[in-house]
Structure 1
Amino acid sequence: MSMPLIVGLTGSIGMGKSTVAQMFRDCGAPVFDADAEVHRLQGPGGRLVTAIEAHFPGTTGAGGVDRAKLGAAVLRDDAAMKALEAIVHPAVGVERAAFLDSHAGAPIVVFDVPLLFETGGDASVNRIVVVSAAPAVQRTRTLQRPGMTAAKFDAIVARQTPDAEKRARADFVIATDISIEETRAAVARVVACLRGGEAR
């Protein structure tokens, strides 16, 4: 049996990637949500909570990992970020492999990975779809999130591969600073192309 075409879906913070991921689901494509998996692994009873508490004391509680406290501990500390990634990424990889096995008969499978390029995940997918919007739109959307500040936004963006580079390395770019109907139509065209085994 042939393996599915593996599609990496990525985009910087505030670009609308979660919305586009749902559009892929609506088109019938199974989507592995790396962020959602991290939340589950770090949530109440999650299997990464103990390891994270050991490395970052005081960042967990009855509800699992306190993301605000953990974020404050690692966001501007490269060594701390690498230590966290060494805990999280292998565990997510195991879950991603299990997801792929469970959808082995699908023509395409989408891996929704915010840090696809930053973690080298682009090497393990067959096609790359980047979700993008104008910088002003990105900033406005992100600053509307609860607890977000301009300084935090700037720190997050500084750790991410620039949008222009992501777009240059993509097989497909989905714009989200247009109407929702236009974005949905663009996703449908990409899905049709991918199912046809074409690359742009």
Structure 2
Amino acid sequence: MSDAGKTRPLILGLTGSIAMGKSTVAGMFEALGVPVFDADFEVRAMQGPGGSLLAAIEAKFPGSTGPGGVDRQQLGALVFGDRDKLALLESIVHPAVVEAREQFLYRHANAPLVVFDIPLLFEKGGAKEVDRIVVVSAPAQVQRDRVLQRDGMTEEKFQQILALQMPDAQKRAQADFVIDTGTSLEETEKAVEELVEKLSERLHE
């Protein structure tokens, strides 16, 4: 698409497979003053104490919510590995996320650039909703080492998660830009800064 004559911010879709460092990179964009819409954060808020989605989730998944909001472990056990139940949960969550994203865009209508931090950007068809795509990537061994350091993570769970995600190589092939997090934090920060500068220059052409 042409960036000329746009009436809204350029939307950068930020994605990457599990443990590739996407959240870290999102924080780097924020540190540079770029507004970031964090889909996962919004979902956690909607599922937290008093969250707007609790009633709908409890109705479809009885016993999965309580005073503290959604019991993530309980709900996870109900949907993990069950595509139908996962699809049902997504049918509750997705419309609410879309609404929150629209409100975010409205608030930042005058920003030249915004980031949509969406873990399953490709898998859920979100690529068509952004102008450019940034994929955060690291070597497979680095990814595996990071994942297996997480509490409660096992090799089996890791493989099941990978099976639900588009392969990293395929994501990189479809990206407009790739940020490598297999390097030092300083090098990754420099790559993010250079990308923001490049896009800012293009927007002012």
Moved over 6 A (4+): none
Give the structure 2 partner of residue 180 of structure 1: 185
Whether 1:135 aligns to 2:135 is: no
Q: How many residues align?
A: 198
Q: Provide the C-alpha distance between the structure 2 equivalents of 1:97 and 1:114, rounded to a whole number of angstroms.
A: 18
**Does residue 12 of structure 1 match 2:25?**
no
Aligned partner of 1:156: which letter? I
DSSP-derived class of the 1:196 partner: helix
Alpha-carbon distance between aligned partners in 2 of 1:35 and 1:149, rounded to the nearest angstrom:
22
What residue is the counterpart of 2:74 in the other structure?
69
Residue pairs, 1:37-116, within 5 angstroms: 37-116=42-121
Separation of aligned partners in 1, 2:111 and 2:143: 33
Show the counterpart of 2:202: 197
Could you tell me which runs of 5 or more consecutive residues in structure 2 were left unpaired when the two chains were aligned.
Answer: 1-5
CA distance in 2, matches of 1:57, 1:150: 29
List gaps (5 residues or longer) in structure 1.
Answer: none
C-alpha RMSD of matched pairs (Å): 1.1
State the Cα distance separating 1:60 from its structure 2 match.
1.1
Contact 1:75/1:156 (8 A) holds in 2 = no
User: Does the CA contact (< 8 Å) of 1:75 and 1:155 recur in 2?
Assistant: no
The whole-number CA distance in structure 2 between the counterparts of 1:197 and 1:91 is 33
1:197 to partner: Cα distance:
2.7
- Secondary structure of 2:202's match? coil
1:121 aligned residue: 126
Deviation of the 1:142 alpha carbon: 1.1
Letter of the aligned partner of 2:147 in structure 1? T
TM-score (norm 1): 0.96
User: Cα distance, 1:28 vs. partner?
Assistant: 1.1
Task: Letter of the 1:188 partner, please give it.
Answer: E
Supply the distance in 1 between the matched residues of 2:143 and 2:111 (Cα, whole angstroms): 33
